[in-house]
Amino acid sequence: MDMHEQIGGLANTSVRQLSPYQPGKPIEELQRELGLHEIVKLASNENPLGPSPLGLEAAQHALREAHRYPDGNGFGLKRRLAAHLDVPAESITLGNGSNDVLELVARAFLAPGLEAVYSQYAFAVYPLAVQAAAAQGWVAAARPDYGHDLEAMLALITPNTRLVFIANPNNPTGTFVSGPELRAFLSVVPEQVIVVVDEAYFEYAQSDAYPDCLRWLESFPRLIVTRTFSKAYGLAGLRVGYAVSHPAIADLLNRVRQPFNVGVPALAAAQAALDDREFLDRSRALNRAGMVQLTEGIQALGLDTVPSIGNFLLVGLRRPAAAVYEALLRQGVIVRPVANYGLAEHLRVTVGSAGENQRFLAALRTVLTDV
């Protein structure tokens, strides 16, 4: 046995069986590999406008305090968020991205012998967080339109279930659960179950049927809503997200949280970005236009798209996606393969600027004639 296997064998069973999250390919990596310069990255649902200018300025200013530990309670950001969301500050838990919050939830409520339920095609972090907690995850088959099937999810709940994860909208499919559907689900979920509604794309979601779950926290005390500054606010690199829940849940999450899980520039940037209405409006408008541009362009190539209310689009290629992904890389365009979701004939593309979308569509047209 080599050293790698020997040491690997020392880890607990759950960790041994984990496969790490596969992030989008970094621009620098493709530059190193192919010596390309003009690279377009539409692989991680990042904001094509860059960071919120108010957020960036606040982060730069805050760096002067980089020798200090951050406020471990995030008082300023929580107070600002509480006013913005019209919820009590005690109901907010801050995280190093909302990914951190999802892991806190798994650590607080799961253990060996306990279970969680999520949908087929749901965000890859849920199974990872469940498995890292050595709990059992159950996958409910998705609907034919790739969306969550809440009835199928309900049917998988047992007395050992502690968590249900609902991505609204879901990544990578862009599908969402409507307000009435979600409310009906919450009202029949058994009492031992916490429901996590992951709203990472809340600020982009524009549909009358899309619910604002925060308004339901008083009726459903076992609901956790997670959101992030990574997507519409353009602060993915700073890592700040949050959960809103009953204060009793926030209290539990705070017990497993690292004392200083959000850094000084991230706290300052997030707080300032909340005031950046102009940036948010611009981001939404650019996304709306880009979504139309991409959808029409992809359909004009004879390919399928799944209707999305996020800032990304699932493209059905009707042929193996791996070769198309690789060929797009050689054209300097990075998108996201989703074979790890069981979608081997799809790619996920982030809505970029008009120019980036154009580059992607042109590259895709070129590539499709060769594969």
Ligand X SMILES: *Cc1c(COP(=O)(O)O)cnc(C)c1O
Residues that bind ligand X (CB under 6 A): 45, 97-99, 123, 167, 171, 198, 200, 228, 230, 236, 241
- CA nearest neighbour of 95 among 119, 116, 79, 77: 77
Instruction: For the CB of residue 302, give the shortest distance to ligand X in the complex, in Å.
Output: 28
Give the shortest CB-122-to-ligand X separation in angstroms: 8
When the beta carbons of 161 and 170 are compared against ligand X, the nearer one is 170
Angle between helices 321-330 and 27-34 (to 10 degrees): 70
Q: Give kind and range of the element (H or E) at residue 297.
A: helix 277-300
Q: Output 270 or 303, the one with its CB closest to ligand X.
A: 270
Q: Would you give the distance in Å from CA 267 to the centre of its chain?
A: 19
> 3-class DSSP state for residue 9?
coil
Among candidate residues 196, 174, 199, the one with its CA nearest the CA of residue 185: 196
Q: Which is closer to ligand X, CB of 227 or CB of 363? A: 227
Say how many C-beta atoms besides its own lie within 10 A of residue 237's C-beta.
12
Whole-angstrom CA distances from 168 to 266, 299, 356 are 24, 25, 26
Nearer to ligand X, 97 or 352 (CB): 97
To the nearest whole angstrom, how small is the minimum distance from the Cβ of residue 265 to ligand X? 15
Smallest gap from residue 228 Cβ to ligand X (A): 3
In whole angstroms, give the CA distance from residue 176 to residue 169: 4
Q: Which residue is nearest to ligand X (CB)?
A: 97
* Cα(204)–Cα(169) distance, integer angstroms: 10
Burial class (CB in 10 A: 0-12, 13-18, 19+), 278: exposed
State which residue, 123 or 216, has the beta carbon closest to ligand X: 123
C-alpha closest to that of 85 among 175, 166, 202 = 202
Min separation Cβ 98 and ligand X, Å: 4
| Token code pair at residue 268 | 């300052």
Q: What is the closest distance, in whole angstroms, from the C-beta atom of residue 35 to ligand X in the complex?
A: 30
Query: To the nearest whole angstrom, how small is the minimum distance from the Cβ of residue 63 to ligand X?
Result: 21
Spatial CA neighbour of 283 closest among 4, 19, 30, 54: 54
Residue matched to tokens 């690199």: 237
Closer to ligand X by Cβ: residue 104 or 363: 104
- Find, among 153, 186, 205, the residue nearest to 312 by Cα: 205
- Of 91 and 311, CB closest to ligand X: 311
**Closest separation in Å from C-beta 239 to ligand X:** 7
- Would you say 102 or 217 has its CB closer to ligand X? 102
Determine the Cα–Cα distance for residues 287 and 284; give it in Å rounded to an integer. 5
The residue (of 105 and 156) whose beta carbon lies closer to ligand X is 105
- Residue whose tokens read 């991680």: 44
Shortest distance (Å) from residue 290 CB to ligand X: 17
